[in-house]
Structures are given as structure tokens and as C-alpha cells.
Chain A
Amino acid sequence: MNGMNCLFTLPADLEVWLLLGYAAVVLVGARVTEVLARMHFTRARRMAESGFCYDPYADHYECPQGERLPLHVIDPHERVAVYRAPASSCAGCPDKAACTPHDEGRHVYRALSEWAETDVGRFHLWLAVLMAMSVTVLGVVALVRWAGRPGTGLLMIAFVVAAVALVRDGRSAWAWTRGTAGVEQ
């Protein structure tokens, strides 16, 4: 009966509340890190395109003057798709000087890599894994220290949530790392 009481009563100790709060903040922080990094990756691509608009259905870009840049080549090694405007169109464009330094038509380079395939993406993914791992480890410590005392149930819930996040994030990060061969030699 005492054991059941411990599971369903609120913690009496301030430290347990603080640890639960910490666990919540770090687990949310891990998610926020991942989401922000992904959003930022998309933004960086947009900024790199600098006013050129990509149409994913037609697979071409449109420049600020309305000229189309169809797919020119794909470099599978570097995972870059190159789009090129017709040289004749650029030659007559009033913005040419500010747009492209050569006479072969403006090129736009589109990275084909997913966020998690990039080095930066993997860095943020593994940080998120480590954050989930830290909460899992602290969860074990807290359960050892406060087992059988009020709040054990909440600590167990926090531990399980952290462990699930750890497994999920760990598998995802490992898959991306293995799939892209990791360290380049």
C-alpha cells in the first residue's frame, strides 16, 4: 500500500520538483534545438537563393526578372543540382551586372542533401540525443535516491519519457550517420 501511495502522491521534496522541471526543460530544449536547426536550414537555403523562387513541381527557378532557370546538371557526388538561365536572356537583362559575373547565364545551385545528412544537421541531432541521455541518466539517479518516497511515480514517468526520447533520437541520429558514412577520410 505504501508503495502505491509513493507512486500516486506528489513529491514532498523541493529537489524532486526541481529535477522534474529540469527534465522537462531539457527534453523540450532537445526538441527545440532540432526544430530550430531544421527551420534554419530551410531559411539558409532560401537566403542562398537570394530572391530566386524555386518551383518544386516544375523543378526550375524563376529569377526576380521573371526568367526561368531550368535544371542544367545534377552533381551526385556533391549532391548539388545546378540550374541555369539562358545566356541570351541574361545578356539583355538590366540587372546582369549585379546578378552574375560571367556571360554564360546565371547559375543557381540547390543542395540536394537533407538537413540530417549535413555535418551541421548531424551535430544538432547528436546534441539532442545527448540531452535526452542526460535526463535518462539523472532519472536513474533520482529513482535510486528517492525510491519509495512521495513522487516516485512522477520520477518514473519522467524517466520513461526520457528513455523513449533517447531511443527515438538515438536511432534516428545513428541511421543518418551510418547512411552518410560519417567521417570522411
Chain B
Amino acid sequence: MSDGTRRSMLVSNLWVQGLALTFLIGFAILGYLAIRVYEDHAPVPGKVVDESGNVLTTREEILQGQEAFLTYGLMQYGSVYGHGAYLGPDFTADYLHRQAELMREFQGGGPEAEERVRQELQTNRYNAETDTLVWSDGQRRAFQELVTLYREELLSRKRSGAGLGPNAVPDPEECRRITAFIAWTAWTASARRPGKDYSYTNNWPPETLVGNRLTKDAVIWSVLSFIALLGGIGLLLAIYGRYPHILGWHGEERRLQFIAPEQLPLTPAQRSTAWYFLVIAALLLLQTLLGGATAHYHAEDGSFFGLDLARILPYNLTRTWHLQLALFVVSAAFLAGGIFLAPLVCGREPRGQGLLSYLLLGALVVVVVGSLVGEALSYHGVLKGSDRPMFGAQGWEYLDLGRFWQVLLIVGLFLWLLILYRGLRARLATDSRGNLPYLFFFSALSIPLFYAVGLACSTKSAFAIGDFWRFWVVHLWVEDFLELFTTILVAYIFVLLGVVSEKLAMRVIYFDAILYSVGGVVGTMHHFYFSGGPAAHMALGALFSAAEMLPLTFLTVEAWTFLHMGAKQEVGGGQGKFPHRWAVMFLVAVGFWNFLGAGVFGFLINLPMVSYYQIGTQLTANHAHAAFAGVYLMLALALLLFALRYLVRPEDWSDRLAAISFWSLNLGLAWMVFVNLFPLGVLQLGDSVQHGYWHARSIHFFRDHVLIEWLRLPGDMLFIGGALPILYMTVRAVLRPRPASGLAALSDTPLENHLFREVTPGSTPPIPPVVTP
């Protein structure tokens, strides 16, 4: 790698080759699956006719219905194919069940009628040549009844209830098209794939009335993925045992004296991050409050302590904002973390970085405010026609924001990349392309690139195709590339603090990146078992996602070793004291939640035979909260506290406030998980197996378990309370910034970039005399 002017590669080239090979194989498989989903997704028929040839609905209407479903925020209220929100029904399962019951009733009831209905629903009457789907008389009548029922019960109900405001979808024609879309999803869930004995959705949802049972593929791949996990753990243990000094952290003799935070000269761009952190803290508070309101709908779906909240802030809107803000908080923390770190890595800052950084912050605020307002206007029906997905909401869960805001956000992320590149350019020019500065830059590059993949998903994509690309963002962006960026950022911080050597950090980063990518890339498909894609997605998704547990297990062990070692490598007392006690504690929390939330809770629901019954239940919410809030939010706060330590005046720093925030957020989250989400998810899974998925997802399930829903309140209060000290400290950092004397005067002056001094034993401050043990 070295070309003479560059620093040579610190670790073996084999690491780079191994990582490149892993990516190549992973993305080759994912590319193959992308082709398969375009070829084999459930068809959207050109027209749906009854047995007499009368047109009931068309492809155009179904896709318009899908767009209305998404842009009115119904994916953030209930779900289709189990994907979406958890308060409302799963519309696919609900329609399928109601349809089968109505059809049985039309045929006079009894076991014989039930069998006829089952046959009728399983028969695939789609003709690919004429692009026409024929519905039986029973299906036609059920569709007509359910159009009315959904409109009156839910979409255009007269009063607030079940988490929605009155007249949520005012136009009856739009209600009909939405029902046509839901009816189409239900058809894909019951009609058998040509030449197969299972439906387009691999027989999901479980529904005895249509004869949907777990497929043998689901059982086989569940067992194989479990074996793969056990085999993978064994293999990794063997490798680990054989090469412990290459793969793991281990001690080096270093005695460090850390620079007092107020002595670090700050660049203009670094100073600008104080504003980022203020915005992040304010958004975090709002995000947690909206989370509380969203959770409250599970306890009281008709009101908020007597207030008709759903009229203004229905469940789908609070949940959309709750999710979007979670992404904004974490993304903004990464942006700020990168901007803060770049001058430390490079040792200098080019002119104009501060200005660019403020420009980026302005763009971020515009995107956040614009997209949230747009979502509200879309859900309340203020925006019409093509303005809804463009400036309002696209409505795909996690990709909720309007297309205009999505593009603006991607532009903002590339602007951030430009800021990073300018900041790192001098260092990149002199370093090997496999060393830490490049790893930092490449992992930052992956963030806008993989977020931009979301552009392939539109409101009028065939659902399976839209969902396929959506999960590239939800899974690949979050669970692979954000995780990779996280690892590199944290390792780099510890290298800059002198706690570990660059060489050691690089080995661990390469090893982690390979482990993440082995399972994480193809494992994306574990979200896609039942969305109308072919069975190959389930097979490969299950097998590879089992391997995702491996890095989470081993990285947690490694992270703790790393932190235990780091915590003791400091010179006692006074100025040299380690200044990042609470930032490190947030990283400790990241390790715990990564293992439990992402690893254990994730694996628990990833096996196809478990996912078949549980998808979209509180077990999914349990995994989502423990993994996202536990890992990414805690990490965002670790970055925030790390940088804030240098941004505030010494007298404004408070370990007590940081401690309160740490304990409140972690115990609050643990309460949410162990008292509410996890046990309720277990009960919901039992209900799904015993009474059917539609039953477990009905609002009656939550009403039957309202006491457990109320029990969540203390945890939510604790969690919300944890955001307040952080907000207070960031306000202080902005209102009372550090005096200019401690700051870098010129932005292009090389900085003293070391955050520590290495001290030899002879130069250590006096150590107390020997105490005989």
C-alpha cells in the first residue's frame, strides 16, 4: 500500500483483502436476491374482476391505495405483512380473517363451507397472460362489505378512538382504494404461488380459516440457522483461542496523563458542534416525550388523560415523529462527532470549516422541521395529490419523510462528507489507504451512500420491491454501516486518548468489520420472510442473520475488556485525571444493550418459525427499543459527552448531572423492556399461536392487558427525565462557551492534537509510599 510518500500500512494486507472479499461475497448474494425479488414478487394484477367479468379494481387503484395508505400514515398505525406499527391491526391478517369469516357466512357456515372457503382462497386465479385476477363471488361480496366496514370502523370514524382521530381519511373513494390495496395484500397471503403449495407470503399470516400453516422451508431454515449460530460460535471460539494476541485487546505498558479539557485548543468547526449538541439534546427530549405519548395510546387508546389528543396528534403521527427524531438524533450526533474528531485526527483545520459546519446545521434544522411539519400536513389531509409524498410523507416506516426532504437530507449528508474530507485531507494524503484515517473516511462515506438507497423505494413501488429497498436502509444502513462507523469512531477516540495503540485498534476494527459483514449484509433479508418475495430470501436471510449474533457477542466481550483496561490507565489525581468517565460509562451501556437488545432479543425473533407468529408484536418493539435506544442513543450520548467535556467551561461541567442522565436513561430503558415490552411480547406471541395472529394484533389484546401497559409509565418517566440534564448542560455550553483564550486563534494553524501525554515512570507525579498489604 505504501507508495513512498505515505505512511505504510500498520497491519497486514490480509485484513484488507479479507474485508474486501467479505463485502464482495455479501453484496453478490444480495445482488442476486435483488434480481429475484424483481422477477418473483407477488404480481399486482392489471385488473381484478368478478366471475361475471365486472371490474372490481385495477392495478392503478391498488397502487393509489398503497400510496394513500402510506401517505395517511397507516403504516405508522398498523401494518401490512407484519411491517409497520403495532397499535392498529395488521391489515393483511385482519382482512384475511374477516374475509374468510364473511365468505363462510355467505355459504351458510359449518365445516363444509369452511373447507370450500379455504379452497376458494387458496386457488390462484391470476392469469399472467391477460394480467387479470378473478375473484370469486364470495371474495367480491367480502370486499364490498369490508370497504364499508373499514371506512366506518376506522378510516372515517366519527369520533377519536383506537388511536386515530375522527375522519382520518375523509374521502370515501380513497377509503375504497386503501381497502383495495389491503385486499390485494390479503390475496397474496392466501393464493398459492404457481407450482407451489404455499402462498406468495410463504403462508404468512398463520390463519386456520385459509389453511395457512408454517411451511417446511421455514422449519428447515430455522433449524439450520440455529445450527449455523452454534457452529459459528464454536468456530469463533477456536479462532479466538488460537490467536488471542492478534484478535483481542491486550495490555501495553503505557502510563498516561490526560490533558485538562480546558487546555485543548478548539477549532471553529469544533466550537460549532456545541450548537449541534444543543439541537440533539432538544430533539432527544421531544423524541422521548413523543415516545411517552405513543406508548400511552396502548394504555388509553381513546384519550390522553381525558384529553382528545388523537384529534391533533394521532398515534400514527406521534409514532412517526418518535421514529424520525430517533434517526435525526443519532445521525446528528454522528455528524457532530465526525466534525469534532477531524481536527484531532489531522492536527489542523482548513479555513471555512466552521462556516460549512454552521451551514450543515442550518440545513439539518430545515430538514427536521420541514419533514416533521410535512408529515403532519400529509396525515391530516392538508396536502393533496402528488404534494403528499413529495413534501409531506412517503410513509414507509423509517423512511417516512417526504421525497423532497429525503433528497435534502442526502445532500446534507454529502455536505458532511465534504466537511470531513476537507478536515482530513492533509492526513489522508500522507497515510496508507488501509490505515485508520481512511477507515474513518470510508465508513463515513458509507453513511450517505446507503441512506441514498432509500430513493429506490417509492410510494408506488410494488410493495415487495419497495420493502426490499427500505430494508437496505433500515437494516444495512443501521445494523451494518452505522455499526461499523460506530466501532471506528469509538476506537479512534481511544487511540486519540492514548488508551490503545493505533495498530491494535486497526486489527480489532478489521476483525469487527468482517464479522459484522458476514452476517449483516445478507442477514438484511431476515426482515423479508413474508413480504411477498420468493422463499430464497427466507432461506438466506435466516442462515446469515444467525451469524449476526456472533459479532455482537464477541464485540461486547471485547468492548468490556477494552473499557476495563482503559479505565485504569491513568495517572492518579489532579490534572492528569481521565476526563471521560461518563462518556465511557455510556459506551459500557452500549456494550450491554448491543449484546442483549441487538444480539439476544434480535436472534429471538429472527428465526423464521418464531417470526412467523411474532412479527409486528411487542417482541419486535422490545428488540427495536433495546437495540436502537440502547445502542445508538447511548452511543450518541457518549459522543456528546466526550465533545461537551472540551466545549464547556470547567466550572460548568457536572459529573453529577452526567451520572443522573446515565442512570435515568439506562434504568428507564431496562424498566420499559423488562416490565412492559418483553413480557407483553411473550404474551402476545402466545396469543398469536393460540388464537391466531389477527387476534394477537387486534386492539382488544392491548385492552385486555392494560395493566401491564400502565406499568410502563415509571420507566418512560425515568427515561424522559434522563434527557433533561443533557439538555441543561448543552444549553450551558452554548450560552457560556469556553473563553477565547483557550481556543485556537487561527483555523489553519496546526493544533496540538494530543489529548494525553505519555509519562515515563520517572516523570510521574509523586506516588504515595509503599503501603504494606
With both chains docked as a complex, state the minimum distance between the C-beta of A140 and any C-beta of chain B, in angstroms.
Answer: 10
Contact status of A47 and B666, CB under 8 A, knowing A41-B564, A73-B769, A184-B581: no
Could you tell me which residues of chain A, from 108 to 145, have a CB within 8 Å of some CB in chain B?
108-109, 111, 118-120, 123-124, 126-127, 130-131, 134-135, 137-138, 141, 144-145
A120, B588: Cβ atoms closer than 8 Å:
yes
B762, A104: Cβ atoms closer than 8 Å:
yes
A78, B675: Cβ atoms closer than 8 Å:
no
With both chains docked as a complex, state the minimum distance between the C-beta of B508 and any C-beta of chain A, in angstroms.
Answer: 12
B209 contacts partner chain A, Cβ-Cβ < 8 Å: no
B670 contacts partner chain A, Cβ-Cβ < 8 Å: yes
A183, B655: Cβ atoms closer than 8 Å:
yes
Could you tell me which residues of chain B, from 747 to 770, have a CB within 8 Å of some CB in chain A?
758, 760-762, 767-770
A178 contacts partner chain B, Cβ-Cβ < 8 Å: no
B253, A101: Cβ atoms closer than 8 Å:
yes
**B681 nearest CB neighbor, chain A only:** A22
B570 contacts partner chain A, Cβ-Cβ < 8 Å: yes
B158 contacts partner chain A, Cβ-Cβ < 8 Å: no
A123, B589: Cβ atoms closer than 8 Å:
yes
Q: Which segment, of B53-61, B433-441, B555-563, faces chain A?
A: B555-563
With both chains docked as a complex, state the minimum distance between the C-beta of B438 and any C-beta of chain A, in angstroms.
Answer: 26
**B673 nearest CB neighbor, chain A only:** A134
B683, A48: Cβ atoms closer than 8 Å:
no
B767, A82: Cβ atoms closer than 8 Å:
yes
B767, A73: Cβ atoms closer than 8 Å:
yes
Q: Within 8 Å CB of A145, what residues of B?
A: 707
A160 contacts partner chain B, Cβ-Cβ < 8 Å: no
A171 contacts partner chain B, Cβ-Cβ < 8 Å: no
Cβ 8 A contact of A75, one of B557, B572, B674: B572
A1 contacts partner chain B, Cβ-Cβ < 8 Å: no
Instruction: Give Cα A33–Cα B4 distance, bound, in whole angstroms.
Output: 50
**A75 nearest CB neighbor, chain B only:** B572
Q: Which segment, of A2-10, A13-21, A150-158, faces chain B?
A: A13-21
A73, B770: Cβ atoms closer than 8 Å:
yes
B770, A44: Cβ atoms closer than 8 Å:
no
Q: Which segment, of B243-251, B404-412, B445-453, B532-540, faces chain A?
A: B243-251
With both chains docked as a complex, state the minimum distance between the C-beta of B169 and any C-beta of chain A, in angstroms.
Answer: 35
A163 contacts partner chain B, Cβ-Cβ < 8 Å: no
A119, B581: Cβ atoms closer than 8 Å:
yes
Q: Within 8 Å CB of A74, what residues of B?
A: 768, 770-771, 773
With both chains docked as a complex, state the minimum distance between the C-beta of B700 and any C-beta of chain A, in angstroms.
Answer: 14
A76, B564: Cβ atoms closer than 8 Å:
no
Contact status of A119 and B655, CB under 8 A, knowing A15-B686, A22-B682, A44-B565: no
Interface size class of B (residues with CB under 8 A): 35 or more
B768, A76: Cβ atoms closer than 8 Å:
yes
Could you tell me which residues of chain A, from 149 to 177, have a CB within 8 Å of some CB in chain B?
none
With both chains docked as a complex, state the minimum distance between the C-beta of B43 and any C-beta of chain A, in angstroms.
Answer: 39
Could you tell me which residues of chain B, from 688 to 731, have a CB within 8 Å of some CB in chain A?
690, 707-708, 711
Contact status of A40 and B771, CB under 8 A, knowing A134-B671, A183-B656, A184-B581: no
A88 contacts partner chain B, Cβ-Cβ < 8 Å: no
A138, B679: Cβ atoms closer than 8 Å:
yes
Q: Within 8 Å CB of A104, what residues of B?
A: 760-762
B674, A131: Cβ atoms closer than 8 Å:
yes
Contact status of A185 and B588, CB under 8 A, knowing A22-B679, A104-B761, A106-B253: no
B28 contacts partner chain A, Cβ-Cβ < 8 Å: no
With both chains docked as a complex, state the minimum distance between the C-beta of B50 and any C-beta of chain A, in angstroms.
Answer: 41
B679, A19: Cβ atoms closer than 8 Å:
yes
B568 contacts partner chain A, Cβ-Cβ < 8 Å: yes
A123, B560: Cβ atoms closer than 8 Å:
no
Q: Within 8 Å CB of B250, what residues of A?
A: 47-48, 50
Q: Within 8 Å CB of A106, what residues of B?
A: 253
A107 contacts partner chain B, Cβ-Cβ < 8 Å: yes
Could you tell me which residues of chain B, from 386 to 426, have a CB within 8 Å of some CB in chain A?
none
B581, A75: Cβ atoms closer than 8 Å:
no
A80 contacts partner chain B, Cβ-Cβ < 8 Å: yes
Q: Within 8 Å CB of A50, what residues of B?
A: 245, 250-252
B659 contacts partner chain A, Cβ-Cβ < 8 Å: yes
B98 contacts partner chain A, Cβ-Cβ < 8 Å: no
B708, A141: Cβ atoms closer than 8 Å:
yes
Could you tell me which residues of chain B, from 544 to 569, have a CB within 8 Å of some CB in chain A?
557, 560-561, 563-565, 567-569
Q: Which residue of A44, A126, A145 has the most chain B CB atoms within 10 A of its CB atom?
A: A44
**A184 nearest CB neighbor, chain B only:** B655
Instruction: Give Cα A15–Cα B674 distance, bound, in whole angstroms.
Output: 17
Instruction: Give Cα A101–Cα B570 distance, bound, in whole angstroms.
Output: 17
**A106 nearest CB neighbor, chain B only:** B253
A130, B674: Cβ atoms closer than 8 Å:
yes
With both chains docked as a complex, state the minimum distance between the C-beta of A132 and any C-beta of chain B, in angstroms.
Answer: 10
Q: Within 8 Å CB of B249, what residues of A?
A: 47
Q: Within 8 Å CB of B683, what residues of A?
A: 15, 18-19
With both chains docked as a complex, state the minimum distance between the C-beta of A63 and any C-beta of chain B, in angstroms.
Answer: 11
Instruction: Give Cα A50–Cα B253 distance, bound, in whole angstroms.
Output: 10
Contact status of A185 and B656, CB under 8 A, knowing A50-B251, A74-B768, A109-B568: yes
Instruction: Give Cα A58–Cα B487 distance, bound, in whole angstroms.
Output: 40
A78, B674: Cβ atoms closer than 8 Å:
no
| In the complex, per-residue mask of B516-543: 1 if CB is within 8 Å of any chain A CB, else 0 | 0000000000000000000000000000
A71 contacts partner chain B, Cβ-Cβ < 8 Å: yes
A26 contacts partner chain B, Cβ-Cβ < 8 Å: yes
Q: Within 8 Å CB of B563, what residues of A?
A: 120
A49 contacts partner chain B, Cβ-Cβ < 8 Å: yes
B656, A102: Cβ atoms closer than 8 Å:
no
A44, B682: Cβ atoms closer than 8 Å:
no
Q: Within 8 Å CB of B655, what residues of A?
A: 183-185
Q: Within 8 Å CB of A19, what residues of B?
A: 679, 682-683
Q: Within 8 Å CB of B248, what residues of A?
A: 47
B573 contacts partner chain A, Cβ-Cβ < 8 Å: yes
**B569 nearest CB neighbor, chain A only:** A109
B: which residues have CB within 8 A of A?
244-245, 248-255, 557, 560-561, 563-565, 567-570, 572-573, 581, 584-585, 588-589, 592, 654-656, 659, 663, 666-667, 670-671, 674-675, 678-679, 682-683, 685-686, 690, 707-708, 711, 758, 760-762, 767-771, 773
Given pairs A18-B685, A71-B773, A184-B655, 14 additional interface contacts (CB within 8 A): A44-B564, A47-B249, A50-B251, A72-B770, A104-B762, A123-B589, A126-B663, A127-B666, A131-B670, A134-B671, A138-B711, A141-B708, A184-B581, A185-B654
Interchain residue pairs with CB less than 8 A apart (25):
A14-B686, A21-B682, A22-B679, A26-B674, A47-B248, A48-B568, A50-B245, A59-B773, A73-B769, A74-B768, A75-B572, A75-B768, A81-B773, A101-B253, A102-B760, A104-B762, A109-B568, A118-B567, A119-B567, A120-B567, A123-B592, A124-B592, A138-B708, A144-B707, A185-B656
Task: In the A-B complex, list the 7 residue pairs whose CB atoms are closest, starting with the nearest.
Answer: A44-B564, A134-B674, A48-B251, A50-B251, A78-B572, A102-B760, A44-B561
